[in-house]
Structure formats: C-alpha cells, structure tokens
C-alpha cells in the first residue's frame, strides 16, 4: 500500500489529466503546464511517484521497488482511489513509463497519452544486456553507477549534487535557476528515494528481483503490448540522455493514432522546459476525443 501525495487543481467536473514526473524531478515540473490546462477547463492530478516528496509506503515491510510494473500499478490504483474512470495520461521518464504501462494494459481507462522520448517507454528487460552504441552507453553511466554499492552510497551521500548534475547533462540548453532546482530537490529527501531509485536501475537490467506483488503485470509487459490509445510523443532536440532515433523507430510500439513532435532548444525535462508545447499536446488530445 502507498499513501500517494498529489496536487489536484482545476474544476472538479473537468476532463481529467494526470501529469507524471520523472527521475530526478517532481511535481514542480508541471507548474506551468497545469496552469495552462486549468485555464482550458481541465482537472489536473499531479502525483509524487513512490520514493518522492510526501508519498509514503504504509508498511515498512513492503519492498521499495522502482520497477515499471509497480509504477503502473500505482497509477492505476490512484485512478481507482479517486474514482476516475478515464483520463488523459501525460508523462516523461519514469512518469511516462507509468503512463505507457497503464495505456498499454488498461486502455479503457485512458482517453489519450502524451509520452516523451523514447515514446513507447516500456522496458524490454530480456534484452537489457544487449549492448548499444558506445555513445548511447556513455549516456547511461548513472545507471551503471547505481548497479553497485558505491553508487548507492554516492546517491545517498550526494543526492542533491547527483541530481543537479543529471539536470545539467540531460538539459544542456535549459538555464534553470538554482531556486528551481532547490524547490524540486526537497522531494529527494524522501526516506525511500535511494532504495526506490537504486532498485529501478538494477531491476531493468535483470540484476535484482521485482516485487512479487507485481509479477503478473511484469509478465504482461514482457510481451511488449501495443499502445492503442491516441498518442502524442514529444522529444527534446537537446535531450542529453535519450539517444537520437529516426521517426519510424520513435513511433514503434503504437498501434493507434500517433504523432511525434521534436522541440528545438529543449532537453529531457520537456514539461518544465516547454510547458506551452506540452499543454498544447494534451489539449489536442482533448479536442480529438
């Protein structure tokens, strides 16, 4: 069980949009996006993911898993708890993964999806040990770092410096203020942050077991289910972590209506760097629906 902390803004009877942050970010990534969507009449739910901010595990014995199946299950449980039958899901990085998992496995709950590169954000763990190009591998240094105990200790001791470095590397053209980072960095003080993050980057490489509670979901994800709901993929042209991909590869995994938009001058944290484009993508799906 998880006590999820979330922001709920906009008219209670408006179309629901769930905005999901990534690692290492928090709900502040959507401050400007949610303001624009509220003006457009939407109700915005912006949750802190497990391991971030005030979100807490109810039971000390629950595994502090960061696996994709857990993120998707958390999102589905949040929709159920709030009695939301259908919503547009929008996210990037970890949040995009949660959104893709729910859109792929429970499409009846999703009226539209906004995902950021890599678009189809479901991990193929069976292929995790297939090497990529050296340049792509170099970008994943932080994942390999966290595979060992030195990395876990480094994240625990230097979580602010570690995450600030990733912001700079992943969004090299985003001149964020130190106060902007500080607002978000509070979320990394969550007592489960290090455990959840470390587990996420180990599980996706098949190095540690998942939480048995999510084994059925992970088994379904292993079959790489297609996303059939209407989708917009947003890609930052200056994203320092996602490897550049051609347009055809970028939309693989989607069986429904999908379009991809590359945004110049934007890095990994798309909603905070390009809130107008992010909000417009969501509104286009509202109008489509």
What is the average per-residue pLDDT within 130-141? 94
**Residue 250, pLDDT score:** 82
Distance CA 117, CA 60 (A): 34
Q: Indicate yes or no: pTM above 0.85.
A: yes
Superfamily of domain 2-288 in CATH is: Alpha/Beta hydrolase fold, catalytic domain (3.40.50.1820)
| pLDDT of 157 strictly over 80 | yes
Q: Are 227 and 100 in contact, with CB atoms under 8 Å apart?
A: yes
pLDDT tens digits, 7-30: 999 999 999 999 999 999 999 999
| pLDDT of 289 strictly over 80 | no
What is the average per-residue pLDDT within 115-138? 94
Distance CA 124, CA 135 (A): 20
pLDDT tens digits, 39-78: 999 999 999 999 999 999 999 999 999 999 999 999 999 9
Domain locations in the chain as residue ranges? 2-288
If 0-12 CB within 10 Å is exposed, 13-18 middle and 19+ buried, where does residue 138 land? exposed
DSSP conformational letter for 49: P
| Per-chain mean pLDDT for the chain | 96
**Residue 243, pLDDT score:** 67
What is the average per-residue pLDDT within 154-165? 98
| pLDDT of 245 strictly over 70 | no
Cβ neighbors of 238 (< 8 A, separation 6 or more) are: 171, 172, 173, 264, 265, 266, 267
Helices (H) and strands (E) in the chain, counts: 13, 9
Q: Are 125 and 97 in contact, with CB atoms under 8 Å apart?
A: no
Cβ neighbors of 128 (< 8 A, separation 6 or more) are: 204, 205, 206
pLDDT tens digits, 203-231: 999 999 999 999 999 999 999 999 999 99
Of residues 61 and 251, the one with the higher pLDDT is 61
């Amino acid at each position: 069980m998880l006590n999820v902390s979330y922001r709920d803004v906009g008219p209670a009877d408006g179309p629901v949009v769930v905005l999901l942050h990534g690692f290492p970010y928090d709900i502040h990534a959507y401050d400007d996006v949610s303001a624009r969507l509220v003006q457009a009449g939407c109700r915005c739910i912006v949750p802190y993911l497990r391991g971030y901010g005030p979100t807490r595990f109810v039971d000390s014995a629950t595994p502090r898993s960061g696996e994709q199946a857990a993120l998707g299950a958390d999102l589905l449980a949040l929709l159920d708890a709030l009695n939301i039958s259908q919503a547009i899901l929008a996210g990037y990085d970890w949040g995009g993964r949660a959104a893709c998992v729910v859109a792929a496995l429970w499409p009846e709950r999703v009226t539209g999806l906004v995902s950021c590169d890599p678009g189809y954000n479901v991990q193929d763990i069976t292929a995790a040990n297939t090497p990529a190009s050296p340049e792509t591998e170099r970008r994943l240094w932080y994942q390999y770092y966290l595979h060992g105990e030195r990395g876990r200790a480094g994240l625990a001791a230097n979580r602010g410096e570690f995450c600030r470095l990733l912001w700079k590397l992943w969004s090299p053209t985003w001149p964020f203020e130190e106060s902007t980072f500080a607002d978000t960095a509070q979320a990394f003080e969550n007592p489960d942050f290090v455990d959840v993050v470390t587990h996420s980057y180990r599980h996706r490489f098949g190095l540690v077991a998942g939480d048995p509670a999510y084994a059925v979901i992970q088994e379904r994800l292993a079959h790489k289910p297609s996303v059939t709901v209407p989708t917009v993929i947003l890609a930052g042209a200056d994203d320092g972590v996602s490897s550049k991909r051609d347009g055809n590869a970028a939309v693989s995994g989607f069986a429904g209506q999908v379009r991809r938009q590359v945004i110049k001058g934007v890095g990994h944290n798309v909603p905070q760097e390009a809130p107008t484009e992010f909000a417009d993508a969501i509104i286009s799906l509202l109008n489509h629906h």
